[in-house]
Amino acid sequence: MRPRLRLFAPLFAALTAGAWIVLWLWDAGPYARYLHQTSWTELPGVGALCRAAPGASIALAATLHSAAWLLMIAAMMLPTAFPLFDTFRRMTVARDERRTLLSLLIAGYAAAWALFGLVAHGFDAALHRLADESPMLLVNGWMIGAAIVAFAGLYQFSRLKTRCLDKCRSPLMFITEHWRGLSARRESFMLGAGHGIFCIGCCWALMLLMFAVGMGSVGWMLALGAIMAAEKNLGWGKAIGKPLGVALIAWSAWIVAANTLFV
């Protein structure tokens, strides 16, 4: 193996570790609120900018949300897709444009998750608006959290979850099914985006838990990232799916009981 090829895994690990370090520093610093769900116009300096430039509020909010979300994806989801990236790298090692193709593969994967992030943030904003307009939900916000946790638990038993997980656990088969190398750059990007879609199919319900327990919690991100990586890449990963579903449903039931029976 040539020295340059042996560098891929360490560099990838360093990139992932760097993303986690940045998240930790961000969360521990004075600007931690940028990671969490809040009104962007309430943050120091941001409100003044939004008032000074009409329309800047939407653009700035989208920029900050996207930056935070992509950093989270780099930390949480890129490691779970390492087998795909490494397999593709080895299959294209003889091509002159191999670095470009690998970059496009990763970009396609990140683009799929970025689009999901926009949808998830829109869903979260809609829930906040619904809660603001509903006195019952405003007082009993725990109901939304309990529902999200229960849904994430039930999704662990779904056929869609199983099908997407099977696709993610077989990177070589996925590449041979979706990449011919005829229009190499376009196919590389679409391969990454396609795998990202199946990855979202595996993990989207678990990712929504971040909105239930607190967006930007580095501890929760570490826990969820480890669970999703184990599910997709370890031999015993499938075995944790149903127990995790049971645990989430039990957690939801505890939230309901704690807020109805023990108050």
Q: For residue 128, give every residue at least 6 positions away whose Cβ sits within 8 Å of its Cβ, in sequence order, or none.
A: 37
Does 34 fall in a domain?
no
Res. 230: pLDDT tops 60 = yes
Residue 142 maps to a domain: yes
Tell me if 239 is assigned to some domain. yes
Residue 152 lies in domain: 77-260
pLDDT of residue 35 exceeding 80: no
Of the candidates 198, 202, 114, the residue with the CA atom closest to the CA atom of residue 152: 202
Angstrom distance (rounded) from CA 35 to CA 115: 18
- How many domains does the structure of the chain reveal? 1
pLDDT one-digit tens code per residue, 69-127: 777 787 888 888 888 998 999 898 888 898 999 999 999 999 998 888 888 777 777 77
Q: Do the beta carbons of residue 36 and residue 216 sit within 8 Å?
A: yes
Please report whether residue 251 resides in a domain: yes
In this prediction, residues 128-136 reach a mean pLDDT of 76
Mean pLDDT, rounded, for 52-71:
59
Query: Greater confidence, 24 or 201?
Result: 201
Q: Percent of the chain having pLDDT more than 90?
A: 26
Q: What is the pLDDT of residue 8?
A: 59
Confidence of residue 40 (pLDDT cuts 50, 70, 90): very low
Averaged over 217-238, what is the pLDDT?
80
The better pLDDT of the pair 45, 30 is held by 30
Q: Is residue 240 part of a domain?
A: yes
Mean pLDDT of 225-239: 83
Please indicate, yes or no, if residue 6 is contained in any of the structural domains: no
DSSP string of 208-244, one letter each residue: HHHHHH-TT-HHHHHHHHHHHHHHHHSTTGGGGHHHH
Residue 231 falls within a domain, yes or no? yes
Q: Is pLDDT at 142 greater than 60 in this prediction?
A: yes
Whether residue 11 lies inside any domain: the answer is: no
Q: How far apart are CA 57 and CA 172, in angstroms?
A: 44
- pLDDT tier, 2 (very low <50, low <70, confident <90, very high otherwise): very low
pLDDT score at 234: 82
Lowest mean pLDDT among 32-36, 91-95, 116-120, 238-242: 32-36
Task: Name the phi and psi angles at 204, rounded to 5.
Answer: -65, -40
At residue 37, the 3 state secondary structure works out as coil
pLDDT band at residue 43 using 50, 70 and 90 as cut-offs: very low
What local confidence, expressed as pLDDT, does residue 243 receive?
Answer: 93
Amino acid residing at 147: A
Query: Do residues 121 and 65 make contact, with C-beta atoms less than 8 angstroms apart?
Result: yes
Q: In this model, does residue 156 exceed pLDDT 90?
A: yes
